[in-house]
Amino acid sequence: MRFFVDSVDIVEIKKLTELGLVDGVTTNPSLIAKSGQNFLETIEKICAVVAGPVSAEVAATDYEDMILEGRKLAKIAKNVAIKLPLIENGVRACKTLASEGYMVNLTLCFSVSQALLAAKAGAAFVSPFVGRLDDIGIEGMDLIDDVVKVFSNYEFSTQVLVASVRNPNHVVEAALMGADIVTLPPSVLWKLFDHPLTEKGLQLFLADWEKTGQAIL
Ligand code: G3P
């Protein structure tokens, strides 16, 4: 399973990359708006730190401008994945851009039928949003289970990129279901390390080691 970081925070991205845990990055317009950072400069900086795919989302919703914006974003670095919304024009633009050899991430996926369209359009990734389904009382992970099953029936090359991840359980369930990638806010990624019994056990080991009076170095 690959871990992407869902963030535009270059400091956090660098820290996690140094741990060897980052296989890519996803961004979205809301993350950029919240950060107050320049979008194009931020994508360039992230691409310089992370070798894997870096998703950069178009702002246009008409086919022609999606193509123009997508090509412009892809020129920033070879590892840019053009992020397009799963609307009719986004699927059409995906077909065109994928046929030109660009990596496309079709995002805002909330149904198996949308995921099927993404696969047929040649998207490199499709991003089903689990947390936002949970937020309206629908089990988001059921969508992942269904999409993974459907994709495995047809040898689709599109990778399931689980997004809108809110906690470590989403990560574990996605892995149990065989999803290809999860994209994680840094806070969720850091939580993957935590278990109270690990902390308690380590303190006990250290206390007992202290009693031996020995040193390794
Ligand atoms: O960036 C795409 C997705 O991960 C957004 O997640 O938490 O805004 O629903 P969220």
Mean pLDDT by 10-residue block, N- to C-terminus, for the chain (217 residues)? 98 96 97 98 98 98 98 98 98 98 98 98 98 98 98 95 98 98 98 97 98 98
Q: What is the pLDDT of residue 162?
A: 99
135: Cα separation from own chain's centroid? 19
What residue has token string 């609307």?
Answer: 87
Q: Ligand 1 centre and the CA of 192: distance in Å?
A: 18
Atom 4 of ligand 1 has which residue's CA nearest to it?
164
Q: Where are the domains of the chain?
A: 2-212
Q: Of the residues 35, 46, 129, 130, which should be mutated to test ligand 1's pocket, given the most ligand atoms within 8 Å of the CB? A: 129
Ligand 1 contact, 125 CB (< 6 A): no
Provide the pLDDT for residue 155.
84
What is 2-212's CATH topology? TIM Barrel (3.20.20)
Distance 198 CA to ligand 1 centre (A): 30
Name the active-site residue from 78, 83, 149, 211. Answer: 83
Q: Which amino acid is at 89?
A: N
Question: Can you give the pTM of this predicted structure?
Answer: 0.95
83 is a catalytic site residue: yes
Q: Which residues contact 61 (CB under 8 A, 6 or more apart)?
A: 85, 87, 89, 90
Task: Tell me, in angstroms, the distance from the centre of ligand 1 to residue 26's CA.
Answer: 9
Residue 140 has which token pair? 């988001």
Is any atom of ligand 1 closer than 6 Å to the C-beta of 110? no
